[in-house]
Chains A and B, each alone.
Chain A
Amino acid sequence: MHRIRTEWLLACFLSLAAPAWAQAPAPLTHPALVAQDALNAADTAWMMTSTALVLLMTLPGIALFYGGMVRKKNVLNTMASVVAVAALVSLLWFAVGYSLAFSPGSGWLGGDTRLWFSGMEYLKVAGKVAVSHAAPNVPESVYAMFQLTFAIITAALIVGAVVERMRFSALLWFTGLWSVLVYAPIAHWVWEPGGWLAQMGVLDFAGGSVVHINAGVSGLVCAHVLGARRGYGREPFEPFNLGLTMAGAGLLWVGWFGFNAGSAVAADGRAGLAMAVTHIAAAAAAMSWMLGEWIVRRRPSLLGLCSGLVAGLVAITPAAGFVTPKDALLIGVVAGLACYWGATGLKRLLNTDDSLDVFGVHGIGGIVGALMTGLLANRTISGVHGDVAIQALGVLAVIAYSALMSLALLWLTKVLVGLRVDDDAELTGLDLTQHRERMGT
């Protein structure tokens, strides 16, 4: 009797368990075609929304943010640079960048299976759709577009370091080459599951290293190689309209919800937490920058508030899916003060005309965020532990590669088209000399 009951239970167990085993999908290790009903509609909708939000950060967010800070004679050139970089990087990402960054290859670089988005199928009749192994719940086309907006904003950030003196053609050559040869490899190292930094356990939820340290370091190198603007340190370079800068900063703040919460690649609890910590860090950094400026300069400025909130957003970026709201408050406070120093004291020490403080805000904010992620990453949230040493290794690797490659690409660009406009053009302004356009009154 006992034996019969045992056999019956075993039979029941097998009859229930076997179909479940057969249905459980093995984790993907490369992009693949899956059944359309394997997609998650909520995740897909959120990722499409996030993609639009992140694009909004650049167009018009960065264009307004930077355009308001330059002199009147260079506003249109600054905005044109951001738009052109967005378009150029989009085409290069479609042709080469996505494949190099997000298809399986070596630990250093992805493969060629997704050049020109090849294999990114949607087969209605067969009921199949391509998904990435990094985001198996959403169509690969959505994931590729989401990542495209990150590639765009990273290159656009560099514009802030070179405004008011770089040739428009030189900017396009440099950012085009940089996007393929610097951004895509680093994205592969950190975000593709086979990348060497990902394998080592470097944590970068939404791009503290890939986007911000990378753009900050490259911007600093560009500014150093280009040289200072004429009159730098002697003349006041009055911003055209800090109201535009505030509008841009507001768009960045809103768009950053897509940047960080979208990086959860799902509409789930982790995305919700990422959104919350993003907002808290931005607010904390705006306040700490403002207080720092109020104490040191005796006045709290609008530009300081805008810069502070961006500093907080930058610093929470690598940590967003790993830390608690209280940790975000701490990250924001530290980032606001550190970036204020980066854009003032450190800037004087470096003695480089990084025009709109790309390194001071994005470089320093990215480093602060990456290291504090190692310190504060909470295992109960993400299932992973942070390690400051590993994080520091990731930071150093990105700094070294970004700096050296930027130097090489600047040299190449100089050979091809020259880097700077001439003195007369700089004095007249790049709006007229590069585009034959000028601002109205």
Chain B
Amino acid sequence: MLPSEKLAIAAHLHVLLRRKTGRVTDTEWMAENHAYATEIVRFARKSAAEDGHPDLAEWADKLEQAVLPPSVPRPPPPRAREAGGAPTDPGPESVPAPADLPRYVRGIR
């Protein structure tokens, strides 16, 4: 995967986290540093499970696949998912609607 594609996923997750949880992250560092990316994936999944934001879990999965090589230990899934928490599982119907896409994708205004 190209570095720009990794950066794009990290930026997408950054926007979602800021909007849904108020947490501010470092996009570039997220796309480069495995330890930081691991922590962000863990936090995003936890927020997804606890606060009901399926799109956070979906983009955490994407970041994990894009940035973390298989050799890197994966963050443990949150308890809600371990317990078979179907409500937070991102299904096809939970893909964000176009109006909910992050800002700044096709222009700044």
Query: A220-242: which have CB < 8 Å to B?
Result: 230-239
Q: A234 touching B105 by the CB < 8 A rule?
A: yes
Q: B107 touching A344 by the CB < 8 A rule?
A: yes
The answer to whether the Cβ of A194 comes within 8 Å of any Cβ in the partner chain is no
Q: Which B residues are CB-close (under 8 A) to A232?
A: 106
Q: A307 touching B102 by the CB < 8 A rule?
A: no
- Assuming the contacts A307-B109, A343-B109, A357-B108, asked whether A235 and B103 have C-beta atoms less than 8 A apart, the reply is no
DSSP majority for the A interface?
loop
- Assuming the contacts A238-B11, A238-B14, A238-B27, asked whether A233 and B109 have C-beta atoms less than 8 A apart, the reply is no
The answer to whether the Cβ of B76 comes within 8 Å of any Cβ in the partner chain is no
The answer to whether the Cβ of B53 comes within 8 Å of any Cβ in the partner chain is no
Chain B residue with minimal CB distance to A303? B109
A303 and B109 alpha carbons, distance in the complex (Å) = 7
- Assuming the contacts A238-B15, A238-B104, A357-B107, asked whether A231 and B4 have C-beta atoms less than 8 A apart, the reply is yes
Q: A348 touching B106 by the CB < 8 A rule?
A: yes
Q: Which A residues are CB-close (under 8 A) to B67?
A: none
The answer to whether the Cβ of A128 comes within 8 Å of any Cβ in the partner chain is no
Q: B4 touching A230 by the CB < 8 A rule?
A: yes
Q: Which A residues are CB-close (under 8 A) to B106?
A: 232-233, 347-348
- Assuming the contacts A239-B104, A427-B3, asked whether A234 and B8 have C-beta atoms less than 8 A apart, the reply is yes
The answer to whether the Cβ of A318 comes within 8 Å of any Cβ in the partner chain is no
Chain B residue with minimal CB distance to A351? B106
Q: Which B residues are CB-close (under 8 A) to A343?
A: 107, 109
The answer to whether the Cβ of A69 comes within 8 Å of any Cβ in the partner chain is yes
Contact of B8 (CB < 8 Å), options: A235, A347, A360 = A235
The answer to whether the Cβ of B60 comes within 8 Å of any Cβ in the partner chain is no
Contact surface of A with B, Cβ cutoff 8 Å: 69, 73, 230-239, 301, 303-304, 307, 340, 343-344, 347-348, 355-357, 360, 427
| Extra contacts besides A233-B106, A347-B107, A427-B4 (8): CB < 8 Å | A234-B105, A236-B102, A237-B108, A238-B15, A304-B109, A357-B108, A360-B109, A427-B3
Identify the 10 closest CB pairs spanning chains A and B, nearest first.
A235-B8, A236-B104, A343-B109, A236-B102, A236-B11, A237-B104, A233-B106, A236-B105, A347-B107, A238-B104
Q: Can you sample 10 A-B contacts with CB below 8 Å?
A: A230-B4, A237-B104, A238-B14, A304-B109, A307-B109, A344-B107, A344-B109, A347-B107, A357-B108, A427-B3
